[in-house]
A and B are shown apart, each in its own frame.
Chain A
Amino acid sequence: MLIELAHFCLILAFAISIVQMIVPLVGAHKNWRGWMALAEPAATSQVILVGFAFAVLTWAFVVSDFSVQLVYLNSHTDKPLIYKISGVWGNHEGSLLLWVLILAIFGACAAWFGDDLPARLKARVLAVQAAVSVAFYAFIIFTSNPFVRLEFAPLNGRDLNPLLQDPGLAFHPPLLYLGYVGLSMTFSFAVAALIEGKVDAAWGRWVRPWTLAAWMFLTVGIALGSWWAYYELGWGGFWFWDPVENASFMPWLFAAALLHSAIVVEKREALKSWTILLAILAFGFSLLGTFIVRSGVLTSVHAFANDPERGVYILAIMVIFTGGSLALFAIRSAALEAKGAFGIVSRESALVLNNILLAVSAFVVFIGTMWPLIAEMATGRVLSVGPPFFNAAFTPFMIALALALPIGSMLAWKRGSIKRTAKSLVGWAVLAVAIGLLAYAVQTGRSALGPVGMALGVWVVGGALTDLWSRTGRGGVPDRVRRLRRLPRADWGKALAHFGIGVTFLGVAGILARETEDIRVAQIGESYQVGAYEVTLADVRQERGPNYVTTIADVAIERGGQSYVLQPEKRFYPVAQMPTTEAAIRNGFLRDVYAVIGDPQEGGGYAVRLYIKPLANWIWGGCILMALGGLLSLSDRRLRVAAGAAKAKTVPAE
């Protein structure tokens, strides 16, 4: 009964979202306050209704109600509780329900916390947000109903894909969705501004927190996915240029660009139409990402969500929303005129360069991802575009970005001086080059990218520190340290996020430059040397887990008197008929030791793989720093409004 009630609530939310899409929009046009005010209670009731539907579905998974088809197909009574819950979104229908839930939550947040928005803008924003909701409600209700019942409830379920039964992957999709859907908010603001024909500094200020939040969630979500791949796929790769990874990476790049251009709108009232365009593109690419994942149009390791028929529907959503808003943009963007003028060497120009590099690199990812499809349709050539292409085409833009970042982030608004900025960074530049050369000297016969990445990482990290330090003005060190503590959180956030990028660069470079790999057959009790490590395969035994059987090895590692045991596993999930590898990783600040156990060999012994991965954790550590930087910046919002106004007055008109 509860299930049917939840289904009914979902349909009710659909109806309400249709009303919310139309009435406030008409109200804003005719200036009827009552009609505009309808948006708020509508958004609130959507969140209550969808929240209830989602809670009921989660409940059905928790109590293993196999009369619900979705639960039967994706759960099992033996599954640990956390994976019963994550099973809710580990499938197509459930993940869509999560999508509309987050959409409703974001919309309601805009309704609840948008008191400082002008009534018309708010009504239009909520109406556009509701339009997006309408499309997704229709999608879920007409093609992907999660509440379908089975006539006879089976005794047990078919279990969740074992690869998904993992803490990293349990929270990867919700975070990505928070990011994708967060961008729907900036999209709504952009379309509302186009309807209104007005973009000003205040608009920039309202849009920025949403962009920041979306970008943060995407950052953490992508990092979590990459970390999962690192420890789960059994050889420690962290990025594969898989279409589904690219699907989340493109919105991230656009969100990062949007984040920066919205600053220019807010502080300088320039780059308006470009910012609007970016907001549309960022959400357009979120929809594209959803399309890629849900349709399976591009084969990839994430094919568990395949369904071409549904893909066509999402394609239609994508075309209507992106196409419609781009058409609106073409008609109305002329009305958005820039106010602030700026010199060729200025923070504004640096941010334009940042936007160009980020947008073009997103375009590289886009064309590389779509090319196999385009080529097959246009020329009939069946080909692959893999990591070698992306590494060659994408990396140069990232190198340029890292080179420009420290200087650009310190240039003055309106008119800056490269000379003056460069002077404060000379020390870091020298250090970066020295470290790059050192890394190049000690490595043998690998690509020069490792050392280059090292140098860039040091350069970016140093730039972030210098930037923060330079914000404290002049005077003695104690004075400046005291002022450092009183700097606005936005300054700290900016420095921390840029610092994080440098750390991620160092992590990637560390693996590129100095990874060690050892693959061999080891007998039980046999010891051997890998680099500075003494490795012993001490024992291999079989055990049983809650819903799998497993082979566990004890691999003893010793280095300079310090010793520990790694326990890599190879699991088999009988219900899903799938094996998985569980690598054992000794995480360290400077390096990870990564062990994998393989099959028993014909001549006795087991295949054992051991990797030493320098700075591996820095890759995700850097991402977390970036997200924390975003969080700091976000928490500064109220401060920033005041500080921005005060600063605007004191900017010297050179």
Chain B
Amino acid sequence: MRWLAIALMLWAAPLWAVEPNEMLDDPALEERAREISQLVRCPVCQNESIDESHATVARDLRVIIRERLVAGDTDQQVLDYLSARFGEFVLLTPPRDGANLILWLAAPAMFLVALGIGWAAIQRKPKAADEGLSQDEQAELDKILNS
């Protein structure tokens, strides 16, 4: 049983996403906090939002978000506050500016190009001409006929 006790002690690390004790009493504000925290990446985790993450720093960020909301910030102000302190990296939505415009516009642009190519392909009439035999096939045929 000593083994069990040690194991249980080692377990103290927070294992959880949003904890009950960090939640706000105002349901509307809490709802906003949850929505924002789904847009913020946990800086030390691998591709998790702070809403899902168990890490301590994610918890700290969740608490900061709630503090800013209680202080009367808008959602965008909270996100700006976080990215100013922790870098652009924490924003799961890449800002639509600078080179990122390529990212945001790539899909619609690609779609238009693909539609254009597809349209051209549909309209193109294939050559009706008979392809005839290839050289190899002709050779093979000759061989059979001559044998």
Name A residues whose Cβ lies closer than 8 Å to a Cβ of B: 31, 197-198, 233-235, 237, 240, 242-243, 270-271, 274, 299-301, 303, 337-342, 344, 348-349, 352-353, 355-356, 359-360, 363-364, 367-368, 371, 375, 378-379, 381-389, 393, 397, 519-521, 542, 544, 549, 570, 572, 574, 577, 579, 581, 598-599, 601, 607
Contacts and interface: CB of A to CB of B under 8 A. Distances in A.
B57 interface: no
Contacts of A520: 20
A379 B46 contact: no
A388 B4 contact: no
Interface in B56-77: none
A389 B94 contact: yes
B111 A397 contact: yes
B47 A579 contact: no
Interface residues of B, number: 57
A360 B114 contact: yes
A237 B4 CA distance: 31
Contacts of A572: 7-8, 10-11
A374 to B, nearest CB: 9
A471 B83 CA distance: 57
Given A235-B52, A375-B100, A388-B39, A542 B94 contact: no
B145 interface: no
Contacts of B19: 519, 598-599, 607
B135 to A, nearest CB: 11
B122 to A, nearest CB: 5
Given A381-B88, A388-B39, A574 B3 contact: yes
Contacts of B99: 375, 378-379, 381
Given A381-B99, A389-B104, 12 more contacts: A197-B134, A299-B47, A355-B118, A356-B114, A383-B88, A383-B94, A384-B89, A384-B91, A393-B107, A520-B20, A574-B7, A601-B20
Interface string B89-109: 111111100111001101100
Contacts, number: 157
Contact of A598 (B16, B94, B134): B16
A549 to B, nearest CB: 5
Contact of A340 (B7, B39, B126): B126
A654 B9 CA distance: 79
Nearest to A352: B118
Contacts of B131: 337
A299 B91 contact: no
A303 B16 CA distance: 20
Contacts of A579: 11, 13, 15
A549 B5 CA distance: 10
Nearest to B49: A386
Contact of B7 (A300, A363, A549, A581): A549
Nearest to B136: A31
Interface string B28-68: 00000000001101000111110010000000000000000
Q: Residue among B47, B118, B136 with the most chain A CB within 10 A? A: B47
Given A349-B122, A381-B99, A386-B93, A549 B23 contact: no
A352 B10 CA distance: 58
B18 A519 contact: yes
Given A271-B121, A386-B41, A601-B21, A337 B49 contact: no
Given A240-B47, A356-B118, A338 B88 contact: no
Contacts of A198: 134
A381 B101 CA distance: 13
A243 B46 CA distance: 10
B126 A577 contact: no
A299 B89 CA distance: 13
